[in-house]
Structure 1
Amino acid sequence: METYPLLIGQKKVYTEKKLIIFSPYTQEPIAEVCLATEKEIEKAILVAQKAFETLKHSPAYIKANALLQISEEVKKQSETLAKTMAEEAGKPISLARIEVQRCIELFRYAAEETKRFGGEIIPLDLDKLSEKRMGVYKRFPIGPILGITPFNFPLNLIAHKVAPAIAVGNPVIIKPASATPITALIFGEIVSKIDLPEGALSILPCSTDLAEKMVKDDRLAMLTFTGSPEVGWYLKGIAGRKRVTLELGGNAALVIASLRLKDFLLQRAIFGAFYQAGQVCISIQRIFIKEDLYKEFLEDFLESIKKIKSGDPLDEDVLVGPLINKGAADRVETWVNEAIEGGAKLLIGGKREGNVIYPTVLTNTSPEMKVNAKEIFGPVVTVEPFREFKEAINMVNDSIYGLQTGIFTDNLNEVFYAYNHLDVGGVIINDIPTYRSDPMPYGGVKLSGLGKEGIRYAMKEMSEGKLLVINYA
């Protein structure tokens, strides 16, 4: 069984303590990774501090070139990264390849944004006391950043933290998900080939206790966390004075007020509800359909679901792979059964084989059921009719989360009503809430998060504005 070392300042480090990584599909061990102790964490922080002294003064062209080199090196390792994600995360191989391609493009975007990340000239001669004065406002890097990443996008969500951090001149320490650290470590090896200051990137699989110590450490200027709301808000509470951004979960809704784009809608709804076994923070969990369209949509939706292939993530045709572990599969199965016992009607699915739960659709649900009220993070969707569009918006807002919502409509008034009244971070018109383009601002409200990702927006989060006032008398 292969052993993967952790990386401290782009250098491999072997430790005595190991973590065995299991395949979510076969539930067999696939490799082991070295775990950081307090000693390795201390060294990573020290080299990050040292790297910051160089990186914060690096010219834009040097940072942009480094980001482009990372993009090219990831491209060379595309199939290795995709297969690793399929094996350790249970991500269907076709989707894993898409994730690698997104990572390649994301670093290219970051390289371009590095060249555009300037400042502004502010005229200050607005009254007699400020004659012959002008301001220059520019953003500066804030220091070493701690990124904690989840299992569901083990490559691209690391990229969303590393790329903007390097773009503005901040070193990064990544604590990857314990279920999927191999992808992160392979990515770290790729970055180690790039001409960056030693300490620009460390990848540290470690225990929860040690991760919390890093969160509390004032030498790290920022925590950027992607994961569950429960963990994210807890970490914010112990983070002290450091800056914090949280990209958390949700129970994303799709509102269907028109079937004009029915073929496209069905294709996208199937994808958004079930791809990667629903283990996506903007996976469609709730569908609200205008009552006169409900029967037509539902019949076609259920027929389409019958064509979905579930199972082995290495099978090119599989859309729904396994849940990340037995505990996750048990939880999803329990919530579905609880809903049925509470009066919900099972329209399709409910079947389980190992950690694979087949696409499941429920109706006659109530808002307080866990399948609606909490983030299920599984291939389960509820469908309910609505009469008036405003009623549908209220149904969407009846949630502790607020990440993204998709709306299919032909009515411009409905578009702006939704935009003005939905308590979410993003409103997606004539597409699913699962839509995300990596450069766009991305983040939620309520329990779904704090701050924004998306290259340029993350660069702003990872930097601090500073004003220069000049009296040119």
Structure 2
Amino acid sequence: MRESTLLPLDQVLPAFREVLSPYDGRVVGAVPLSSPGAVDRIVARARSGAAQARALSRHARGKVLDDAAAMIDGQREDFAKTITAESGKTIRQARKEVLRAVNTLRLSGAEARRNAGETIPFDSYQGSEDRTGWFTREPLGIIAAITPYNDPLNLVAHKVGPAIAGGNAVILKPSALTPLSAQMLADVLAKAGLPGGVLTVVHGDREVAEAIVRNPAIRMVSFTGGFSTGEAIARTAGLKKLSMDLGGNAPVIVMDDADLGAAVEACVSGAFWAAGQNCVGVQRILVADSVYGEFRRRFLRETAQLRAGDPAGETTDVGPMITAGAVDHLAAKIDAAVASGAEVIAGNIREDNVLHPTVLENVPEGSSLWTEEVFGPVVMLQPFATFDEAVALANAVDFSLHAGIFTSSINTALKAAGSIDAGGIMINDSSDYRFDGMPFGGSKYGSMGREGVRFAYEEMTQPKVVCIKHQEGRGQPLSP
């Protein structure tokens, strides 16, 4: 019988945590909890798993990942319903997340087979003509992966897939709010043939995560989440590799030569996808003065057509935010901005955890709504007079993941790409576009590493150089 990927605290009577629907509060599942005292045993299991993972051939790693992808594809509706139940993401959006996770695992399988290292041209340097060699990519060992609630399947796949491809063991700590999708992925990987110790899923509180992060056997911490948690991890981790995908505050510039229809459609989707709980979601839309009125009219019209409510409904566009506390926090920011002169021009209607799509203008640039990550279904409109002003507004925050610009001028597009400080610039698309094979990460404050399968794989492996000095005429040659 295969060893379970789920490691409870106690061998006999583990404690359990119920998982609640953010829409109606019903219990949708439960997971066993671990305590800080269990971490030494968890790490010992992972040490054994790291040896198992390293011993797997690249073909074997790739096959496990490919087979797991095929299994998820065959159970896509079950996975989508689980995502919707625990995260509140609408069922149509959840189905797309499942397809992305399938692709992420397939890309990981391909990376396992492809990215083995390179030959090194030693003879390109005078005095090294008699040397031949290469470097390989070797596993780091044990990766601690800490994932958020907003993409509870695909963001787990983005950490687990490349880690397995690289021959590592993984201790996975998914969000306490959305652990079920992660557990389903782990179970599928086990069924696909992943050795039992390679992936361990741990459910617990902050103290459990801190104990894992602090443990010296952990070679890397891969974290996706907020800045305050990222800072706490950095203080706790000690001397180990850190890769963090932290928050964003995405600007999108709409120039006066833009296709307004395309810009409006992309920005409405980018602002309110997953109830705005998206680190690259559109937050600040900067529109040229001459087209501001028309853009505003079209944007409000399309926003008004969105349906908010039960995420299981096939026609629902915007589901609930993850918790009542998250809604309260965002509502306080909206109230503070309004008190300082901002105007709500759409939405700001709350029904339990569902906040209807909300649009503001005249938001003070010093308000928290403008300077911090919104992470909810709220977007701000702001006119600008010149391109340079738009770029200055786009860059006037301390951190950035993606930005976007809509223009019919290739010169303007390339100028924006060179002058906007962000991890990615989407031209004639909203900031929330992401292909799972591209590098993904932040700029400025908090920029630590990159995700995207190939790039995460390289973060999770290290080069090893092999150099052979030729021995002809100097004794016995190397034997095969």
Deviating above 6 A after TM superposition, structure 1's stretches of 4 or more consecutive aligned residues are: none
1:7 maps onto 2:5 in alignment: yes
In structure 1, C-alpha distance between the alignment counterparts of 2:134 and 2:390, rounded to whole Å: 47
Given the alignment, which residue of 1, 21, 24 partners 2:22?
24
- Residue 153 of structure 1 is matched in structure 2 by 151
In structure 2, C-alpha distance between the alignment counterparts of 1:444 and 1:94, rounded to whole Å: 28
- 3-state SS of the aligned residue for 1:7? coil
Cα distance per residue 1:381-420 (max 9 Å; x no partner): 1100111111111101100111110111122222222222
Check 1:117–1:354 CA distance in 2 against 1; reply closer, same or farther (3 A cut).
Answer: same
> 2:4, 2:196 within 8 Å by CA — same for their partners in 1?
no
In structure 2, C-alpha distance between the alignment counterparts of 1:360 and 1:131, rounded to whole Å: 66
- 3-state SS of the aligned residue for 2:365? coil
1:452 maps onto 2:450 in alignment: yes
> 1:6, 1:203 within 8 Å by CA — same for their partners in 2?
no
Q: Pick which of 222-231 and 51-60 moved more.
A: 51-60
In structure 2, C-alpha distance between the alignment counterparts of 1:161 and 1:395, rounded to whole Å: 33
Given the alignment, which residue of 40, 45, 48 partners 1:47?
45
Given the alignment, which residue of 277, 280, 295 partners 2:275?
277
In structure 1, C-alpha distance between the alignment counterparts of 2:125 and 2:14, rounded to whole Å: 67
In structure 1, C-alpha distance between the alignment counterparts of 2:185 and 2:125, rounded to whole Å: 54
In structure 2, C-alpha distance between the alignment counterparts of 1:226 and 1:242, rounded to whole Å: 17
- Residue 350 of structure 1 is matched in structure 2 by 348
1:63 maps onto 2:61 in alignment: yes
> 1:6, 1:205 within 8 Å by CA — same for their partners in 2?
no
Given the alignment, which residue of 369, 375, 386 partners 1:377?
375
Within 5 A, what are the aligned runs for 1:19-418?
A: 19-38=17-36, 40-258=38-256, 260-418=258-416
Tell me the amino acid that sits aligned with residue 74 of structure 1: I
- Residue 476 of structure 2 is matched in structure 1 by none
Q: CA deviation at 1:168?
A: 0.8
Check 1:48–1:350 CA distance in 2 against 1; reply closer, same or farther (3 A cut).
Answer: same
User: Which runs of 5 or more residues in structure 1 are unaligned?
Assistant: none
Tell me the amino acid that sits aligned with residue 354 of structure 1: D
| TM-score, reference length from structure 2 | 0.94
> 1:15, 1:36 within 8 Å by CA — same for their partners in 2?
no
Name the % identity: 35
Tell me the amino acid that sits aligned with residue 254 of structure 2: I
- 3-state SS of the aligned residue for 1:224? strand
Q: CA deviation at 1:258?
A: 4.2
In structure 2, C-alpha distance between the alignment counterparts of 1:389 and 1:202, rounded to whole Å: 50
> 2:341, 2:362 within 8 Å by CA — same for their partners in 1?
yes
Q: CA deviation at 1:26?
A: 0.6
Cα distance per residue 1:302-353 (max 9 Å; x no partner): 0111100001000111111111001001111111111111101111111111
Q: CA deviation at 1:32?
A: 2.3
Tell me the amino acid that sits aligned with residue 53 of structure 2: L
Q: CA deviation at 1:39?
A: 5.0
Q: CA deviation at 1:6?
A: 8.0
> 2:259, 2:408 within 8 Å by CA — same for their partners in 1?
no
In structure 2, C-alpha distance between the alignment counterparts of 1:358 and 1:15, rounded to whole Å: 43
1:466 maps onto 2:464 in alignment: yes
Tell me the amino acid that sits aligned with residue 224 of structure 1: S
Check 1:13–1:416 CA distance in 2 against 1; reply closer, same or farther (3 A cut).
Answer: farther
| TM-score, reference length from structure 1 | 0.95
- 3-state SS of the aligned residue for 2:55? coil
- Residue 477 of structure 2 is matched in structure 1 by none
In structure 1, C-alpha distance between the alignment counterparts of 2:126 and 2:300, rounded to whole Å: 71
> 2:308, 2:317 within 8 Å by CA — same for their partners in 1?
yes
- Residue 474 of structure 2 is matched in structure 1 by none
Check 1:260–1:423 CA distance in 2 against 1; reply closer, same or farther (3 A cut).
Answer: closer
Tell me the amino acid that sits aligned with residue 211 of structure 2: K
- 3-state SS of the aligned residue for 2:282? coil
RMSD of equivalent CA atoms: 1.9
Tell me the amino acid that sits aligned with residue 43 of structure 2: I
Check 1:412–1:58 CA distance in 2 against 1; reply closer, same or farther (3 A cut).
Answer: same
In structure 2, C-alpha distance between the alignment counterparts of 1:341 and 1:93, rounded to whole Å: 36
